[in-house]
Chains A and B, each alone.
Chain A
Amino acid sequence: MMETAIKIQNLNKSFGKKHIIKDLSMELKAGEVFGFLGPNGAGKTTTIKMIVGMLHLESGSIEVCGVDVEKDFEKAMANIGAIVENPEMYKYLTGMDNLKQYARMRKGVTKERIDEVVELVGLSNRINEKVKKYSLGMRQRLGVAQAILHKPKVLILDEPSNGLDPAGIKQLRDILKNLAHNEGVCVLVSSHLMSEMELMCDRVGIIAEGKLLDIKTIDDMTRAVTADVNVIAYHVTDASKAKEIVDEYVAALDIDEESKTIYKFNVQDNEHFDVEFPVQIVDELWKLNKKLAMADVGLISICPQENRKLEDVFIEMTANGGDQIA
């Protein structure tokens, strides 16, 4: 069992009359990449800000590596590296001068460590330029360098892929995975992009309207999504002839009437259509396909469709689907 890196208990926060975080509790383990997922305004950044001491806790508690952030802020923060919102650095200083600023505020950061971190985030060639000449992606890299400078046990990144190019995102992903899986760092990444989380995280916590809806491993989520596939896409030589055969086949099935109502046949064009079958017959689909073949309908390809993508699960779980900012 991995040790607990961040422990949040019964966290509440209001801005004025607006209750932003509602009784949020969760535990993050050392050595995992934890995705904090939720639509805009769900309370991701607010929670993170409370962990790093930007906002005061209204009620509840946050422990980082066993240290309460409100009771011993400095000791708790010594274990945290973070980027919250945009990576805003001192623009009139060079990248190196910026890092030196943070190095002076933290214990045990040597010149060699700074160079090592700069190398790791791929900024070696530009580190002596002023930050105002940096692109957003470069500043994001500098932000990451700043966050991992003192080898923190907990790394918190708020929307880290903002402004990064695909290669940069891949690089960041590798850095984070390496830190978590090989060096035992607890990485907390927030995002509103499920697809990004899927590639990076071990576990995902989904938050909406200030409430933690569920915590699942990515594996569980993928399995849940693929388990009930019952839409099949067909590419055939004659779609209209195929429709007749499929209609006939489904009508003759020995299943209850309610299940039969699930059946839908969507024609796209002369050669393409997809069919939504009742779940129980998917395993016996070869019988239908055989019928089609026998009736001289040329089967070019048959492809099961994931009827619900992870994105859909996410949108469904977060209820309002992001119509209105919560």
Chain B
Amino acid sequence: MLNLIKNEYIKLFKRGSVIAAVIVMFVLSLGIMMIFKAAEILEDELTYMTEDGEVIGEGKEFYEARVTVLKERLEELEKDSKSNTKDMEAVKRSIAVFEYLIEKDISEEDWRYSLVFEVIGNKEEKDEDISKQEVKEFLDNNDFEGYVRYKAQVTKDQEIKYVNCDDGIKNIYAFMVENEIFDSSDWRYEALTNLEAMAQNAASDREIKRVMALNYRILNNIQYSTDDIVEDIFEVTDETETPFMYGFGSSAGIMVILCGIVIIFAGIIVASEHTDGTIKFLITNPVSRGKIIVSKYLTIVSLSAIGMVTLFVFNFIVCCILFGTEGINAVHLKVTMDGITQMPVILNILIKYVLEMVGVIAYGTMAFAISSFAKSTAVAVAVGIMSSMAGSMVSTVLAQMHQDWGRYLIFSNTSLSTIMENGAYYPNQSVTFALTTVVVYVIIFFTIAYDGFTRKEI
């Protein structure tokens, strides 16, 4: 059997066209990594621009405008004998708030901003724990540390109630004191206040996961990007994403090129024997047809695996060169309802590659089945590539049209790494479901190929 597989490898790799295809794969792969690199540089520039843009915005002029408007309102109220004092009080307090903001030069991003509204703008002492007077002092002195220590003191008996996250942060101010987060610009301050608000309301799985993820990020000081918040990314790394992690993480998509190559190989490996007439010499050997077709299939499967490992190593090296090795030892964490699982980032990317490889093998097997029927190599390759391309379109369209049976199509299940990241075509389409479906299809395709080859009259 090993000899048969060796034969198949020799037959494939002594072909000029096959070697050309492999070279193209590496060149394309390198090209795509370069595009990632270019995109990364571009993205950095874009970020600076938006930051610049934000600096303009509101601030002092806005406050002054508000004060003017509020004062006009107050005058109107005073003229009107019907108006009650309650309203006038409220307007006066608002004016005080904005005048204070102007006086102390407090921007919207300042830690004091919302507190000013609370302390000066509120009539009643809603929060029984804090004394307005003391807080006002912290505000006047811009004493963030003092405020945090004070809050930790007064709220020490309060605990955040979590669902499904027992080891979460219990008290955000105590946490800040403990970890000496006394710089109001620390991203964790904002995140902690968000966490507190979110934890109280978390009900759905999605919200619970979000709280879990946020907790983990804060505990391990892994800053999120704005993208993460919008997309609810429940997978994090133990440090803020580096260019290496971004580049290498995205590189698993390059496996689509390998998919094309494997389809070509699968198309060649059976159909070319018929096209070249060599099949007659192949089967007049003391080797049963079953063994021949199995060894050919094993060649395709092993080539998919070898191709995957080669691409993984190749892309790893390219990424190290293009993006540097920062973040290479990072740990990847995945948030599920069962908790947070962790593994090295590199291993997580390898898993993505392996899952992509399963898809490659699935399409390879399909092309293999076509190959064992097709009369010509060109037809086998063309049909294989076209069906893999048309297939994902069919799945997308069916999913959009809410045709639920579409989930049983092979094309809906081949992008396993996307499915792992909650990017399935259909809701509740788990990796296990996809994997099972793919295995069933692979068995069917192989049976077709096996049966076709062993019965064929030559």
- On A, residues with C-beta under 8 Å from B are 49, 52-56, 73-75, 77-78, 80, 82, 84-86, 88-93, 97, 101-102, 104-107, 143, 146
* Those 5 A-B pairs whose CB atoms lie nearest each other, nearest first: A88-B277, A78-B286, A77-B286, A104-B3, A105-B285
Contacting residues, chain A, for B10 (C-beta < 8 A): 93, 97, 101
Closest A residue to B273 using CB positions: A90
Chain B residues touching A, range: 20 to 34
Q: What are 28 A-B pairs at a CB distance below 8 A? A: A49-B458, A53-B283, A54-B280, A56-B455, A73-B288, A74-B286, A74-B287, A77-B284, A85-B277, A86-B277, A88-B278, A88-B280, A89-B281, A90-B276, A90-B278, A97-B10, A101-B11, A102-B281, A102-B285, A104-B3, A104-B6, A105-B3, A105-B7, A105-B285, A105-B286, A106-B286, A143-B281, A146-B281
10 A-B pairs besides A97-B14, A105-B285 with CB distance below 8 A are A52-B283, A74-B287, A77-B285, A77-B287, A84-B280, A86-B277, A92-B14, A102-B285, A105-B3, A105-B287
Contacting residues, chain A, for B45 (C-beta < 8 A): none
- Quote the shortest CB–CB distance from A82 to chain B (angstroms): 5
Assembled-state Cα–Cα distance A93/B16 (Å): 11
Closest B residue to A49 using CB positions: B458
- Quote the shortest CB–CB distance from A56 to chain B (angstroms): 6
Task: Decide if B399 is an interface residue (CB 8 Å cutoff).
Answer: no
The reply to whether A105 and B4 form a contact with Cβ atoms under 8 Å apart is: yes
Majority secondary structure, B binding face: helix
- Quote the shortest CB–CB distance from A295 to chain B (angstroms): 67
- Quote the shortest CB–CB distance from B362 to chain A (angstroms): 29
Contacting residues, chain A, for B286 (C-beta < 8 A): 73-75, 77-78, 105-107
The reply to whether B288 and A74 form a contact with Cβ atoms under 8 Å apart is: yes
Interface residues of B in 285-332 (CB under 8 A from A): 285-289
Contact of B278 among A53, A77, A89, A97 (CB under 8 A): A89
Take A55-B457, A101-B11, A105-B4 as given contacts and tell me if A88 and B285 are in contact as well, using a CB distance cutoff of 8 Å.
no
Take A85-B280, A88-B280, A102-B281 as given contacts and tell me if A54 and B11 are in contact as well, using a CB distance cutoff of 8 Å.
no
The reply to whether B284 and A84 form a contact with Cβ atoms under 8 Å apart is: yes
The reply to whether B11 and A90 form a contact with Cβ atoms under 8 Å apart is: yes
Contact of B7 among A52, A54, A85, A104 (CB under 8 A): A104
Interface residues of B in 436-458 (CB under 8 A from A): 455, 457-458
Among B4, B10, B278, B286, chain A packs the most CB atoms within 10 A around the CB of: B286
- Quote the shortest CB–CB distance from B284 to chain A (angstroms): 4
Contact of B458 among A55, A75, A80, A146 (CB under 8 A): A55
Assembled-state Cα–Cα distance A300/B281 (Å): 58
Closest A residue to B280 using CB positions: A84
Contact of B14 among A53, A84, A89, A93 (CB under 8 A): A93
Contact of A93 among B3, B6, B11, B284 (CB under 8 A): B11
The reply to whether A52 and B284 form a contact with Cβ atoms under 8 Å apart is: yes
The reply to whether A54 and B284 form a contact with Cβ atoms under 8 Å apart is: yes
Assembled-state Cα–Cα distance A106/B280 (Å): 15
Assembled-state Cα–Cα distance A322/B7 (Å): 43
Task: Decide if B79 is an interface residue (CB 8 Å cutoff).
Answer: no
Closest A residue to B8 using CB positions: A101
The proximity string for B residues 317-357 relative to A, scoring 1 for CB distances below 8 Å and 0 otherwise, is 00000000000000000000000000000000000000000
Assembled-state Cα–Cα distance A141/B161 (Å): 86
Among A93, A101, A107, chain B packs the most CB atoms within 10 A around the CB of: A101
Contacting residues, chain B, for A89 (C-beta < 8 A): 278, 281
The reply to whether A88 and B457 form a contact with Cβ atoms under 8 Å apart is: no
Contacting residues, chain B, for A101 (C-beta < 8 A): 7, 10-11
Take A101-B7, A105-B285 as given contacts and tell me if A56 and B16 are in contact as well, using a CB distance cutoff of 8 Å.
no
Contacting residues, chain B, for A73 (C-beta < 8 A): 286, 288
Task: Decide if B82 is an interface residue (CB 8 Å cutoff).
Answer: no
Assembled-state Cα–Cα distance A78/B458 (Å): 20
Contacting residues, chain A, for B285 (C-beta < 8 A): 77, 102, 105-106
Closest A residue to B2 using CB positions: A104
Assembled-state Cα–Cα distance A146/B145 (Å): 89
The reply to whether A92 and B281 form a contact with Cβ atoms under 8 Å apart is: no
The reply to whether B284 and A82 form a contact with Cβ atoms under 8 Å apart is: yes
Closest B residue to A94 using CB positions: B14
